[in-house]
Amino acid sequence: MPGHGTDHWEPETCFGCKIHTVQVAASATPTRSPGVSEKNRLDRKLDADLSAYKRLRLDGLNPKSTEDAAKFEKRAESEYEVVSGQLAPDMAKGKDVSQGGREWRRRAEDAYQASKRGEVLVG
């Protein structure tokens, strides 16, 4: 079958031959370039974390880190969880696991509030 590049090759005068030489860089297609989609995902996560950190600070809380601040903003139910960087359901043990860490949260929050008042809890 006759066509560009087979029966003639004139990229100077033939548009078909000229377009036949066009190449597209991988960076022009970000979803196909390896690593770029991961970088975009990490950038979106960082933006969400920084925005959440700012909102938590404006609410008077002092998050442990900007990392995972969005997760703590959504899931934390007490001030201590935000400040310590520990979520009750992740820290619960034994039968408290089935209760979503309710006992751990209560005890941790009591100890945290006591330490803010300068008290020392024993036992």
Render pLDDT for 91-106 as a digit per residue (tens, 0 to 9).
888 888 888 888 888 8
- pLDDT of res. 22: 83
φ/ψ of 8, rounded to 5, equals -155, 160
Q: Please give the average per-residue pLDDT across 51-64, as a whole number.
A: 94
pLDDT of residue 36 exceeding 80 = no
Contacts of 46 (CB under 8 A, 6+ apart): none
56 vs 43: CA distance, rounded Å: 20
Structure tokens at 55: 């909102």
Asked if the model's pLDDT at residue 16 lies above 90, the reply is no
What integer pLDDT is reported at residue 42 of this predicted model?
92
Give me the helices (H) in the chain, please.
15-19, 36-58, 69-75, 79-84, 88-91, 102-117
d(CA 100, CA 119): 28
The pLDDT of residue 109 is 87
Task: With a cut of 70, say whether residue 2 has pLDDT above it.
Answer: no
